[in-house]
Amino acid sequence: MNEIYVDLAVIGGGPAGLASAISAKESGVEKVVVIDRNSWLGGILPQCIHDGFGVEEVGKSLTGPEYAEMYIKKAEEKGIKFMKETMVLSFNKKLQILAVNKKGLYTINSKSIVLATGCREKTRWHALIPGTRPSGIYTAGVAQSFINLYNIMPGKKVVILGSGDVGLIMARRFTLEGAEVAGVVEILPYASGLPRNVVQCLEDYEIPLFLNHTITLIEGKERIEAVTISKVDENMNVIEGSEKRIECDTLLLSLGLIPENEIAKTARIEIDDLTGGAVVNQDFETSIPNTFAVGNCLQVYDTVDVLSIDAKTAGKYAGEKLVYGGKEKFNCIKVVPGNGIRYVVPQKIDRTGKVIISLRVRKPGENLTLVIKAKNKEIFNKKMPWVNPANMVRMEFNVSEEIFSYESIEVELK
Amino acid sequence: MRNFEVAIIGGGVVGCAIARELSKYDVRVVVFEAGSDVASGASKANSGVIHSGINSPPSSLKAILCVEGNKMFPLLSEELSFPVKWTGKFVIAKNEEEVDELERLMETGIKNGVENLEIKEGDEVKKLEPNISCFSALWIPTAGITSPYEFTIALAENAVENGVSFLLETEVNGLNKKNDIFSIKTNRGEFKADIVINASGLNCRKIVSMVEEPDFDIYPCRGEYLVLDKNYRYLINSMIYPVPVKEMGVLGVHLTPTIEGNILIGPSAEFIEDSSDISTTRKMMKQLFHEAKEILPSLPEKGVINAYSGIRCKISSAGEGLADFRIEESRNFRHMINLIGIESPGLTASPAIAKRVVGMISNIIDLREKRDFKVRKRKKRFSEMSVEEKSIMIEKDKRWGRIVCRCENVTEVEIIEALSNILGAKTLSAVKYRCRAGMGRCQGGFCTQHIVRIMEKNFGMKIKDIKLKSPNSYMFCGKTREENE
C-alpha cells in the first residue's frame, strides 16, 4: 500500500475537476492532486469534436478538445499533480481515499475532497423498450467515442431515440460520416436538447424529428433490423394503430444522463433523489465536511461553461476554507422545490450573502414568475418570459440573516 | 481430428453436463454448438433455480432426475467453482382454497423424496419474509439458486480441460449413418462419430427429423422476465412462488433472488410459433409487474432495470398438461440418443441426465475412467480480493491495476483471461458472462470501448469481426476512415 498526503484531492479530471482544482490552487492551497481513471484528462470533452464550448465563459467558440486543453495547460502551469489511469475505489469520512493503478494500491490522505465524477448515460432499460436484444444498440455517447476517438463506425442506417443534446449532435455526426439518419424520436412534445442544436444538427440536414413518439418494438435476432415507432397521447400512453416501422441497422439512445455517484456512496454522502447528485450547500459542500461535489455528478448541466463557473466557485471556496477557515455559518435551512419545479441546487443554505440557485422546471411555459417563499411569505421573485425543462434556470439570490429564522424556503413557479 | 466416439449436438447445460461427465473417461468427444458460446439459448435465459422436485408427478423422469440432480449441486459447485446459494423457497397460498394445492404439492414432494417440507402459517412466513402476505405457505428448504450461465460455462470449460473438443458456431445440418458410423454434416465440414447425442434443446425435433419421422411435436412456450435493481435485494430472502398454473403446465410468475443480488420477476407463459423469437413485449412486462405486485405489494415501479425472455421446449400443448422428459435411443438408429422435451427442471436435472446418458453410452462402448481428471478452480475476482491480495496481484502483474469495467471493478487481466477462455468464445457476451464486465449499471457504457481495444490489440481481431453474442451479431460496420488512404 502506498501512502500519499495531499491538501486537496479532486476525483475526476474532466472540466469540473480541472476547473475546481485550478481555483483551489489559486486560493493558495499547496498540494492539489487530480485523480482520473482515464489515460487522458478532460473527461468526455476529447470526444466532443464539435464547437460551441466556451461561448458564455470565455467569449469564443471552442471545440471540446480545445476547451479541455485550455484547462489542462492552466492546471499544469499551476503545478497541479495528476494521477491518471487511477481508479478511486472508495473514500471515508476521514477523507482517506483508496485508489488503484498499475503501480499498486494507494491511500490518499487529504484535508479536502472535490468529487467531480461526472455522469453516465441512461440505457435501453431505463425506457424498458420491448423487443429482441440484438447488437447495434448504442447510447449516443458510446457511439460518439467510437467514431471520434477510435475511428470505428457503428452502423450505416440510424434511428435515434431521445432528443437530448448528445443525440442531436450524433445525428449530425453520423450524417457527416455518410450514414443515413432516419429520424430522431422524442416522447415529449418538444425537443429535450438545446434549441440551437435542433436547428444546427437536425433542421440543417433535414433529419426528421418525431415529437410525441416513442419506440415500441426492436426487431432483429442478431443485429438490429428495424424499430417500430408509435405516437403517444398527452399522458404518454401509446396510441394503438399509430405504429410505423423504420428499417435500420443502428439504434442510438439519447435518453438523458444520470449523475455518477458510486464513489460518493462509499462514504455515505447524502444524495438527493431528485437530482441523483449529492445534497450540497451554496458553496457545494456535501453532507461530509470539506467534501464538495461539482459538475455533472452534482446535477446534469446544459453547457460546460456554466458547469465550469460553478466548479470554480466550489474550488475557490474549498481552497479558502483550507487556507483561512470557512465563512461564518448559520443554522442550516433547506431549499425545497415547490410547484412546477423538478429540482433545486443547492438543497441547503447556511450562510448569508450572494447565492446562485440552479433549478429545472417541470414543463415549458411562458410569462411566469419564479418565487421564493418562506412560510408562505414571498421573499424573492423573478419574471421568466419563458421556461423549458431543457434549459437550466439560474437565479442570484441575496441571503439575509432574516431567513435563518425559518426551517426551509420553497422555490415555485407561478 | 474429425473422428470421434461420441458427438454431442448442443452446448446448452445438458450437452455440457454430458460432455463434462464423459470427460472423466478415456473417450473422444466433440460438442457442436451453433451459437458463439455455450449457454446461448434457454440455459442462459431461465430463473437459475435449483429445484427441489415437488412439482413433477412421482416416478416421472422429471421428478427422479430433479431430486437426484439437486443433491449433486454441492459437490459440483466445489469441483467447478460456480456459485450456489441455498435460499429455500416458499409456495404461497393466497387464500384457504389454495391450501389444498399446498398439501398436494407437499404430498408429491414427499413421494418424490424431497426432505424437510413444511407448511407454515401466514404469520410465521411474515417473520421470515416481512414483505410477503399470505394465508399459509409451503416451505422447501432444499431449493436453491445458481448462476445458470456460469454453471454451463464451468461444465464446458472443465470438459475441454479434460480433453473434450468444443466447436462453436458450428451448426449441424445433416446426419446419416453408414456401417455403424454416423456422419455429421456441419457448416465446418463433415465429422464422424460412433454415438450421437441429440441435446439440441428446442432444435431436438429438427435433428431427429434428419434421420427419421419424429413422433412428437414441439410447442415453444416463451417466458419473459423482468430484472429488479440490486438496491431492492432486501425485499425477499428466499424464492416466492404462487401455486402452479396447471392449465399451462408451468410454475407461475415467481420472485427469485439471483446470485448477483437482483430479483427476477417471471416467467410468463405464452405459446408462440417461432421457437427463436426471444422478444420481450410491453403486454407481458405489464402483466409480470402486476402479478408480482400481488405477491409483493411493496414492489417499486422504478425498480426494473432489465428484461429478457427464454423459450421452454414443451412437447405437450396448452391443454395437454405436463409431459415428461424423454431420454431414449432412436427407434431406427441405434446409438443415437435423443433428449426430448428437456424444459424445467432441466437445469437442476442436467447433472443427473448426464449420469443417465453416460450410463447408456457405457452399454454401447467400453468407458474407462481417466486417472488424471482435473477439477476446475476459478481464480478470485479482483472485486472479491482483500486490499492485501489486490496489492500482491498488482505487484506481480500491473494489468491487475487497470480497471476496465468500473461498475463491477473488472481489471484488464481479467478481461484478457476471459477472452483467452479455453472454449475460444470471443464475443462481448462471452467476456461479460465470464468476468462480469459490462454487466453493471452502465451496461457497458464505459468499458465496451476498452474491451474492443483489447480485442483488437491483444487478440488481433478485426473491427468487423467483433460480435455481441452470436455469429451474425456484428458490432460495427468498419472503420470510420480507412487508414493509409
Residue A163 Rama label (left phi>0; alpha psi -120 to 50; beta): alpha
pLDDT of amino acid B231: 85
Greater confidence (B443 vs B394) lies with: B394
Does residue B33 surpass a pLDDT of 60?
yes
For residues B162 and B174, is the Cβ–Cβ distance under 8 A?
no
Which of A135, A141, A149 is the closest to B475 by Cβ? A135
Cβ neighbours of A2 in B, within 8 Å: none
Which residues 230-249 of A are in CB contact (within 8 Å) with B?
Answer: 238, 249
Cβ neighbours of B307 in A, within 8 Å: 125, 128, 130
* B51 is an active site residue: yes
In a mutagenesis test of the B interface, which of A86, A117, A150 is the best target, namely the one with the most B β-carbons within 10 Å? A150
- Say how far apart CA A188 and CA A161 lie, in whole Å: 11
Q: Does residue B272 sit at the A interface (CB-CB below 8 Å)? A: no
Does the beta-carbon distance from B279 to A131 stay under 8 Å?
Answer: yes
Does the beta-carbon distance from B477 to A139 stay under 8 Å?
Answer: no
Does residue B483 surpass a pLDDT of 80?
no
- Say how far apart CA A375 and CA A368 lie, in whole Å: 21
CA distance A80 to chain B (A): 23
Mean pLDDT within B436-442: 87
Put simply, whether the predicted model's pTM sits higher than 0.80 gets the answer yes
Q: Does residue B308 sit at the A interface (CB-CB below 8 Å)? A: yes
| Residue found under cell 434556470 | A393
Cβ neighbours of B35 in A, within 8 Å: none
Q: How many Cβ pairs closer than 8 A exist between chain A and B?
A: 128
Report the DSSP beta bridge partners of residue A97. A91, A108
CATH number belonging to domain B382-465 = 1.10.10
pLDDT of amino acid B1: 59
Which helix (H) or strand (E) covers residue A52, if one does?
strand A51-53
Distances in Å between the Cα of A181 and the Cα atoms of A148, A168, A175, B61, B473 are 17, 11, 6, 55, 21
Of B65, B68, B73, residue with least CA distance to B49: B73
- B234-287 per-position pLDDT tens digit: 999 999 999 987 666 677 899 999 999 999 999 999 999 999 999 999 999 999
pLDDT of amino acid B73: 98
Side chain identity at residue A44, one-letter code: I
User: What is the number of helices (H) and of strands (E) in chain A?
Assistant: 9, 30
Which residues 406-465 of B are in CB contact (within 8 Å) with A?
Answer: 406-407, 409, 441-446, 448-449, 452-453, 463
Strand order in the sheet with A408-413: A348-349, A333-337, A408-413, A365-374, A377-387
- B50-96 per-position pLDDT tens digit: 999 999 999 999 999 999 999 999 999 999 999 999 999 999 999 99
For residues A43 and A301, is the Cβ–Cβ distance under 8 A?
no
What residues have CB less than 8 Å from B156, skipping those under 6 apart?
B11, B16, B19, B20, B31, B38, B166, B423
Rg of chain A taking only CA atoms, in angstroms: 22
Task: Give backbone dihedrals phi and psi of B166, rounded to 5 degrees, phi first.
Answer: -115, 130
**How confident is the prediction for chain B on average, in pLDDT?**
94
pLDDT of amino acid B303: 83
Q: Does residue B285 sit at the A interface (CB-CB below 8 Å)? A: yes
Report the DSSP beta bridge partners of residue A63. A51
Strand segments (E) across A154-264: 157-161, 180-185, 209-210, 213-219, 226-231, 244-247, 250-253, 257-259
Residue by residue, DSSP assigns B150-180 as HHHHHHHHHHHHTT-EEETT--EEEEEEETT
Does residue B321 surpass a pLDDT of 90?
no
- A230-266 per-position pLDDT tens digit: 999 999 999 999 999 999 999 999 999 999 999 999 9
Of A31, A35, A33, residue with least CA distance to A12: A35
In a mutagenesis test of the A interface, which of B452, B455, B480 is the best target, namely the one with the most A β-carbons within 10 Å? B480
Residue by residue, DSSP assigns B407-433 as TTTEEHHHHHHHHT-TT---SHHHHHH
Residue of B51, B254, B335, B450 with catalytic role? B51
Please, what's the b/e burial string for A13-38 (b: 16 or more CB within 10 A of its CB; e: otherwise)?
A: bbbbbbbbbbbbbebebebbbbbbbb
Q: Does residue A39 sit at the B interface (CB-CB below 8 Å)? A: no
Cβ neighbours of A264 in B, within 8 Å: none
Q: What is the 3-state secondary structure (H, E, C) of B229-268?
A: CHHHHHHCCCEEECCCECCCCECCCEEEECCCCCEEEECC
Cβ neighbours of A123 in B, within 8 Å: 442-443, 445
Does the beta-carbon distance from B449 to A216 stay under 8 Å?
Answer: no
- Say how far apart CA B38 and CA B438 lie, in whole Å: 19
Grid cell for residue B294: 400481488
Greater confidence (A256 vs B484) lies with: A256
Q: The dihedral of CA A238, A239, A242, A243: what is its sign?
A: positive
Share of chain B above pLDDT 70, in %: 98
Does the beta-carbon distance from B444 to A142 stay under 8 Å?
Answer: yes
CATH classification (class only), B1-84+146-215+324-378: alpha beta
Is residue B170 packed enough to be buried (19+ CB in 10 Å), middle (13-18) or exposed (0-12)?
A: buried
Q: Does residue B396 sit at the A interface (CB-CB below 8 Å)? A: no
- Say how far apart CA B20 and CA B277 lie, in whole Å: 29
- B352-382 per-position pLDDT tens digit: 999 999 999 999 999 999 999 999 888 899 9
CB-CB neighbours of A325 under 10 Å: 7
In a mutagenesis test of the B interface, which of A152, A153, A255 is the best target, namely the one with the most B β-carbons within 10 Å? A152
Mind listing the pLDDT tens digit of every residue in chain A (414 residues)?
899 999 999 999 999 999 999 999 999 999 999 999 999 999 999 999 999 999 989 999 999 999 999 999 999 999 999 999 999 999 999 999 999 999 999 999 999 999 999 999 999 988 889 999 999 999 999 999 999 999 999 999 999 999 988 999 999 999 999 999 999 999 999 998 888 899 999 999 999 999 999 999 999 999 999 999 999 999 999 999 999 999 999 999 999 999 999 999 999 999 999 999 999 999 999 999 999 999 999 999 999 999 999 999 999 999 999 998 877 778 899 999 999 999 999 999 999 999 999 999 999 999 999 999 998 899 999 999 999 888 899 999 999 998 999 999 999 999
Which of B443, B445, B477 is the closest to A153 by Cβ? B477
What residues have CB less than 8 Å from A256, skipping those under 6 apart?
A121, A122, A126, A162, A164, A192, A300
- Say how far apart CA A209 and CA A172 lie, in whole Å: 13
Does the beta-carbon distance from A135 to B483 stay under 8 Å?
Answer: no
Grid cell for residue B205: 425435433
Strand segments (E) across A71-149: 81-83, 87-91, 96-101, 104-109, 112-115, 119-121, 137-139
Grid cell for residue B333: 438408429
- Say how far apart CA A218 and CA B119 lie, in whole Å: 44
- B418-432 per-position pLDDT tens digit: 999 999 999 999 999
CA distance A323 to chain B (A): 33
Side chain identity at residue B244, one-letter code: P
CA distance A220 to chain B (A): 9
A311 SS3 class: helix
Does the beta-carbon distance from B401 to A102 stay under 8 Å?
Answer: yes
CATH classification (class only), B85-145+218-314: alpha beta
- Its ipTM equals 0.93
- Say how far apart CA A254 and CA A138 lie, in whole Å: 9
Grid cell for residue B268: 410468463
- Say how far apart CA A122 and CA A260 lie, in whole Å: 11
Cβ neighbours of A216 in B, within 8 Å: 282
- Say how far apart CA B25 and CA B461 lie, in whole Å: 36
Does the beta-carbon distance from A37 to B308 stay under 8 Å?
Answer: no
CA distance A2 to chain B (A): 10
CA distance A376 to chain B (A): 33
For residues A321 and A143, is the Cβ–Cβ distance under 8 A?
no
Which residues 121-140 of A are in CB contact (within 8 Å) with B?
Answer: 121, 123-125, 128, 130-136, 139
- B176-220 per-position pLDDT tens digit: 999 999 999 999 999 999 999 999 999 999 999 999 999 999 999
In a mutagenesis test of the B interface, which of A1, A3, A128 is the best target, namely the one with the most B β-carbons within 10 Å? A128
For residues A287 and A278, is the Cβ–Cβ distance under 8 A?
yes
pLDDT of amino acid B485: 45
- A331-352 per-position pLDDT tens digit: 899 999 999 999 999 999 999 9
Is residue B461 packed enough to be buried (19+ CB in 10 Å), middle (13-18) or exposed (0-12)?
A: middle
Domain segments of chain B as ranges: 1-84+146-215+324-378, 85-145+218-314, 382-465
Which residues 314-353 of A are in CB contact (within 8 Å) with B?
Answer: none
For residues A219 and A227, is the Cβ–Cβ distance under 8 A?
yes
| Residue found under cell 467531480 | A116
| CA distance from start to end of chain B | 42
Report the DSSP beta bridge partners of residue B165. B30
Cβ neighbours of A1 in B, within 8 Å: 387, 391
Which residues 332-391 of B are in CB contact (within 8 Å) with A?
Answer: 387, 390-391
- B282-317 per-position pLDDT tens digit: 999 999 999 999 999 999 878 888 899 999 999 998
